[in-house]
A and B are shown apart, each in its own frame.
Chain A
Amino acid sequence: MTNTTVISAKNLSLTFETNDGPVHALKDVDLDIHKGDFVSFIGPSGCGKTTFLRCMADLEHPTAGSITVNGVSAEEARKARAYGYVFQHAGLYPWRTIGGNISLPLEIMGYSKQDQQDRIARVLELVELEGFEKKFPWQLSGGMQQRASIARALAFDADILLMDEPFGALDEIVRDHLNEQLLKLWARTNKTIGFVTHSIPEAVYLSTKIVVMSPRPGRITDVIESTLPKERPLDIRDTPEFLEIAHRVRDGLRAGHAYD
């Protein structure tokens, strides 16, 4: 891991004006994400973790402070296609095959036909969906669809992967499996990953850095650098080290709630 800063937020605030008065989704958030980091954002609903991720993706616009992605503004980074974004729902187009879905961003970005084919094959192998290229989304399980949507986010050359509760709608067993796969994929591709979750074990298991957030106003209460090794079998979750980090995350979440 180098120390190049990929995403940097300074005094970032975002206030939504609603009929019930202003809602402070984010207030004075400072965070640096380095190249190759796996950063999880955890907190109760309304803590602004998804909003923060959407600010990085230029899907929301901060009302104060600044955010840079790859050293430029979030908007420029989006226009340069600096990141792949995975939503909570796979959002595959039902009228396109899995291969067709993966080539969708590639078509939009103007990759050549041959290049598209090569990339489809490569990313399907990465998410272990070889042989499913010609299948339609409805022929795949929920977990497989989500893997296909990750493959789609990996297909173009973005060094950053932003994931908004990508496994939130899946059951525990599938989730474990996908977590393991995601770690392998991260190790192989060396991407910088921003990952929103509300599961403590998931955050601790995956991350090199855990950002604990709390609501009203949305802010960061703790940033935990994980001491776990990069190589993580599933049963690392039973080690004292793992439990200690999980404990600290829980404390951070509780501290955030003490405010209201």
Chain B
Amino acid sequence: MRSLLPIFTVVAAIFVIWYGAAVALNTPWAKDQAKRNNVELSFTELVADTWSQKKPKLPAPHQVVAEIWKTTGEMVAKGRAFSKRSLIYHSWITLSATMLGFVMGTGFGILLAIGIVYNRVMDMSVMPWVIASQTIPILAVAPMIIVVLNAVGISGLLPKAMISMYLSFFPVVVGMVKGLRSPDQMQLDQMRTWNATSGQEFWRLRLPSSMPFLFASLKVAMAASLVGAIVGELPTGAVAGLGARLLAGSYYGQTIQIWSALIMAAALAAALVALIGLIQRMTLKKMGMVQ
């Protein structure tokens, strides 16, 4: 209970600022409209107008909530949860690319980390490229990846997942290299005194030691993977997915739609990261590493 109060305080503050900003940003349009219609707006009328415009500069929270409800709960009630106008459908499209990219990125990241830890040549040569890969703006690379893959006949889910992978393997590599190197010299000497093979050393010492590092990386990777999937939908004229919703919204000035897609993406990211947190707690508890 004690942890809820600060959370609610912050949320309340956000709402206050949000509503205030909505008034400030939408007032010029409201006044402009009033002037054209030759009506004088009282303060309450002005506020009411700024919170209920059809294409506001900044939609008020209740407008976004209403839009989200209209495109999720209401659709479900009508039995059209997976229609093209449903946010659930678009979230699912993005989620599937995110998950595929996340799994590929994690696998690729772990393999690279093992190579870097066990192979001196890889250690010297791969790491700079891994870091360089992340300095390239993904927005610049994404269209090329999609165009190139399209040219070789790969389209749909995989290109987006590749972009997710591109973003999500990085934290996994960095975390796992550190994690696999976390056993100290004494622990490695101990393995030597038992004449353990390097396989035994890996499975019994290095891999378990790296688990806390892995989970920390997975949380970052998951968030990055979602960003990658959305970015993958933006420059390609995709017709489905949260990124497509953002893009369509910005074409037609549908700010409410943009914000509802944004909130949905944020909620999705929070849920996914929380899910990893849960798996982390369960795993570490089973390993006896949390008390």
Contacts and interface: CB of A to CB of B under 8 A. Distances in A.
Contacts of B211: 95
Contact of A109 (B190, B192, B194, B291): B194
Contacts of B200: 108
Contacts of A105: 194
A87 B186 CA distance: 8
A78 B204 contact: no
A191 B261 CA distance: 71
A138 B193 CA distance: 24
A80 to B, nearest CB: 8
Interface residues of A, number: 24
Contacts of A138: 291
B288 interface: yes
SS class of chain A's interface: helix, strand, loop or mixed?
loop
B190 A85 contact: yes
Contacts of A83: 193
Contacts of A85: 189-190, 193
Contact of B194 (A87, A89, A97, A108): A108
A91 B195 contact: no
B205 interface: yes
B32 to A, nearest CB: 66
A94 interface: yes
A166 to B, nearest CB: 12
A79 B189 contact: no
Interface in B185-204: 186-187, 189-196, 200, 204
B100 to A, nearest CB: 30
Nearest to B195: A79
Given A93-B205, A97-B288, A107-B204, A87 B190 contact: yes
A81 B194 contact: yes
Given A79-B195, A93-B205, A87 B189 contact: yes
Contacts of A93: 205, 208
B157 to A, nearest CB: 37
A247 to B, nearest CB: 35
Interface string B8-22: 000000000000000
A79 B208 CA distance: 25
Nearest to A83: B193
Interface in A60-111: 78-79, 81, 83-85, 87, 89, 91, 93-97, 104-105, 107-109
Given A108-B200, A108-B204, A138-B291, A91 B194 contact: no
A94 B195 contact: no
Interface string A170-213: 00000000000000000000000000000000000000000000
A169 interface: no
B187 A91 contact: yes
A94 B194 contact: no
Contact of A104 (B192, B195, B204, B291): B204
A94 B187 CA distance: 12
19 contacts: A57-B193, A59-B192, A59-B193, A78-B195, A81-B195, A84-B193, A85-B189, A85-B190, A85-B193, A89-B186, A91-B186, A93-B208, A95-B287, A97-B288, A104-B194, A105-B194, A108-B194, A109-B194, A109-B195
Given A57-B193, A81-B195, A91-B187, 4 more contacts: A78-B195, A89-B186, A91-B186, A108-B191
Interface of B: 186-187, 189-196, 200, 204-205, 208, 211, 287-289, 291
* Top 8 A-B residue pairs of the complex, sorted by shortest distance between their CB atoms: A95-B287, A85-B193, A136-B288, A105-B194, A108-B196, A108-B194, A95-B208, A79-B195
